[in-house]
Amino acid sequence: MKNWKKTAEVAIIGGGIMGVSAAYYLARRGVSDVVVLEKDLLAQASTGLSVGGIRQQFSNPANIRLSQESVRVYERFGEEFGADIKFRQVGYLFLAQKEDTWNDFLFSIETQRQHDVPVEVLSPDDIKQRWPYLNVDDLKGGTFGPKDGYADPYLAAMGFATSARKLGVRIEEKTEVTGINIEGGRVQGIETAKGSISAPAVVNVAGPWGGEVARMAGPDLPVKPYRRQVFMTKSFDAIPKSVPMVIDQDVTFYFRGEEPGIIMGMSNPDEPSSFNLNVDRDFLEKVIEAAIRRAPVLENAEILRGWGGLYTITPDDNPIISEAPGVKGLFSAIGFSGHGFQQAPAVGLILSQLILDGQTNFDLKPFSYDRFGKKEQEGEKRVV
């Protein structure tokens, strides 16, 4: 194929925000020949369909640190990348109905405060006073992170991609990877629908397709895609702006402001793994029920549209960030269970360090390739 370059120092599989973040940090370190392979268009899958939440309220210290580093990048994104990603630090409000959930919240707060996460503990009366549109009758309490919020995932990905291109990164869209070449326990390159690329380092950041890409190299990882449906209302002024990201933890329902309306969604624990992106109108009724139960004023909101996105989930809700055991040069960052966008800046930096230095000062033990099947690991509890 004309202009097809058959070599690269690093080949990155996946053109979501994780892929372009890794490419940017590699190029910033002076790697002159990085290529990103995307089977569709940049940031059109999980990244572009994300609701853009960014928080530091995690139960696992390793996740806290990933998010803290990423928040620092997002806070100065305009300065470094010249793009306004509409980062709004309106806060995350986690709500607990069950006693066990509330106890988990209180335990997590100790961990969060040990790691300098700004977080407030709120009684139901406190919550009602600050957000009077919420029903608090069934709540044990809540926690609020004032530095949490949301940003536009597509704009953030394009900011990384534009800066990466300026540093010499090649981005090949509409280019599906069909194989990973390995000889003698070392990556040799990849095969694509357009041709082969010889490369000593390959990065799997294929999001929902990360498990399929991993199987090209042999490892069968417990990483599966699950649909998450999101709905947006028409213009709605009955809830005063700004609206935090409200997480009703025990029913996995959430909503936040999205000018001029409200975005809302909920997990369906009975839905099997799939690549289904269709909108289920029957499920919308359940989402509306949860919405009205938590914020009765939402009964007057009209749904404008809905869409489906994909979470990539592991058994412990923690990602895999590691070089593959027994396959030198094959790196993965997949299975973020809905946290990929918000942690992408830190993970891109980590991948560049693993590839170029063979190490990182981040604690990656909770994210190791080979943790599954061993003694049960402490997973992430703050997942919806």
Give the model's pLDDT for residue 269. 87
**Taking the domain 89-147+224-313, which CATH number applies?**
3.30.9.10
Strand pairing of 261-266 and 224-233?
antiparallel
Termini Cα distance of the chain: 45
Contact between 189 and 181 (Cβ < 8 Å): yes
pLDDT in tens, the chain (384 residues): 568 899 999 999 999 999 999 999 999 999 989 999 999 999 988 898 899 999 999 999 999 999 999 999 999 999 999 999 999 999 999 999 999 999 999 999 999 999 999 999 999 999 999 999 999 999 999 999 999 999 999 999 999 999 999 999 999 999 999 999 999 999 999 999 999 999 999 999 999 999 999 999 987 889 999 999 999 999 999 999 899 999 999 999 999 999 899 999 998 988 999 999 999 989 999 999 999 999 999 999 999 999 999 999 999 999 999 999 889 999 999 999 999 999 999 999 999 999 999 999 999 999 998 888 766 667 788 788
Which residues, 6 or more positions from 214, have their beta carbon under 8 angstroms from its beta carbon?
A: 204, 220, 221, 223, 324, 332, 334
Indicate where the chain has its CATH 3.30.9.10 domain(s): 89-147+224-313
pLDDT of residue 381: 80
Q: Taking CA 328 as the corner, what is the angle to CA 323 and CA 334, rounded to the nearest 5 degrees?
A: 25
**What is the pTM (predicted TM-score) of this model?**
0.95
Residues 111-125: tens digit of each pLDDT: 999 999 999 999 999
Q: Which pLDDT does position 375 carry in this prediction?
A: 62
Other Cβ atoms within 10 Å of 7 Cβ, number: 13
Report pLDDT for 376: 61
- Residue range(s) in the chain whose domain bears CATH number 3.50.50.60: 1-88+148-221+316-384
| DSSP string over 68-88 | HHHHHHHHTHHHHHS-----B
Q: What residue ranges in 69-192 does DSSP mark as E strands?
A: 92-96, 120-122, 141-145, 149-150, 170-172, 177-183, 186-192
Give the pair of three-digit tokens for residue 336. Answer: 């973020």
Q: How many residues does the chain have?
A: 384
The DSSP bridge partners found for residue 7 are 198
Beta-carbon contacts of residue 288 (< 8 Å; ≥ 6 apart):
298, 303
Q: Quote the distance between the C-alpha of residue 138 and its chain's center.
A: 30
**pLDDT score of 384:** 82
CATH tag, 1-88+148-221+316-384: 3.50.50.60
Share of the chain above pLDDT 90, in %: 89
